[in-house]
Amino acid sequence: MIYGERVRLRHVERGDLAKFVEWLNDPEVYQGLSIYSPLSVAEEEDWFEKMLKGPQDERPMSIEAKQDEGWQLIGNCSFFRIDWRNRATELGIFIGDKAFWDRGYGTEAINLLLKHGFFTLNLHRIFLRVYEDNPRAIRAYEKAGFIHEGRMRQAEFHDGQFHDVLLMSVIRREWTEELEE
């Protein structure tokens, strides 16, 4: 487990899958993700089995929020396609339980994953792609220390039109300097 103040990250359990399917079928959640068609429990189970056989450091983690009654599952985050020669990776996240949006949980989870990436996996650079029409995510990434570094013009088609995809990244030295301030 990776513990923060109000959030902890743990490996995904089979029992999480039903919630993931519910959330990933919610248009408000999936419009910021690369998912564009309905997802079934069977497909999610298939993803889970493949994920178990994949690289350990790329296994998604479930995000749980501390509540009076215990820890509550609220979403999922992960690194993918870790490039060990360049010590770089891409980050992805969703908070599926919308009651937890805009309350700082996403930023805290991102910060926990960054800490894990920099201080445990010894990564150097962590980047992500985010749609230009996802201001909530962009703001959360900025709060976590991500810097805007580029724009892939009209790289994503949804809602009947093409959208730009923003590239953002954080380098370990910048992130640790921010921690020390």
What strand order describes the sheet that includes 61-67? 2-3, 7-11, 61-67, 70-83, 88-95, 125-131, 161-171, 147-158
What's the one-letter identity of residue 104?
G
Contact mark string toward ligand COA, 98..137, x via CB under 6 A: ---xxxxxxx----------------------x---xxxx
Cβ proximity to ligand COA: between 94 and 175 the closer is 94
Token code pair at residue 29:
């959640």
In the complex, least distance from residue 161 CB atom to ligand COA, rounded to whole angstroms: 18
Task: Kindly state the DSSP code that residue 123 receives in the 8-state scheme.
Answer: -
The reply to whether 148 sits near ligand COA by the rule CB under 6 A is: no
Separation of alpha carbons 117 and 120, rounded Å: 6
The verdict on 65 binding ligand COA (CB under 6 A) reads no
Beta-carbon-side half-sphere exposure of residue 86 (alpha carbons within 13 Å): 10
Asked if 93 touches ligand COA (CB under 6 A), the answer is: yes
- Per CB under 6 A, contacts with ligand COA among 18-57 are 29, 32-33
Contacts with ligand COA, residue ranges (CB under 6 A): 29, 32-33, 75, 93-95, 101-107, 130, 134-137, 139-140
